[in-house]
Amino acid sequence: MEFFEQMNHWHWLTLGLLLLAGELLGTAGYFLWIGLSAVTVGVLYAVIPLSWQLQWVSFAVFSLFATWLWWRYQHKKDETSDAKRALNQKDKQLIGQTSRLEEDIIAGSCRIVLGDTTWSAKSFQDIPKGTLVHVVSVDGIILTIEPIKK
């Protein structure tokens, strides 16, 4: 208890700077908001006299609030980014791919070659062999194809 009662603003500023320095070592943001909260308490304590209990409550509240605000901001940004991303989402990567048919297709189910893999596909129209087709949508592992109009 004596340690807590003897804390002054320099202790908070030092703790905050140590946490921010730790953030530079690559903790992926874990120490950033906690370090800024400690610095905030240090600056606040330098201006306004606070009991040690209020210092620690302020530190906890600032840390939780700052972390929550950052999480909320980052979560929205990540959701928007993920919706646009095609990396590791094969279905999005396949849309727009083209292939030349190796056999005649009668409207319905068929198989086509894309790259080094054969895929189940469906077409809503008959398509002759040798026609260049492209993928217009993906439903699970079944591709919907259409001929490319020239």
pLDDT tens digits along 6-31: 888 999 999 999 999 999 988 878 89
The CATH number of residue 104's host domain is: 2.40.50.140
Distance in angstroms (rounded) separating the CA atoms of residues 15 and 20: 9
Domain count, the chain: 2
Distance in angstroms (rounded) separating the CA atoms of residues 23 and 35: 9
For residues 16 and 36, is the Cβ–Cβ distance under 8 A?
yes
Distance of alpha carbon 10 from the chain centroid:
37
- Can you give the residue range of the structural domain that contains 86? 1-91
pLDDT digits (tens, 9 = 90+) for 95-117: 889 999 988 888 888 899 988 88
Residues 6 and 51 in one domain: yes
Residues 86 and 37 in one domain: yes
Residues 136 and 64 in one domain: no
**Verdict on whether the full-model pTM lies above 0.95:** no
First vs last C-alpha separation in the chain: 82
Residues 84 and 105 in one domain: no
Which of 91, 108, 133 corresponds to the end of one domain?
A: 91
Residues 5 and 55 in one domain: yes
Residues 51 and 75 in one domain: yes
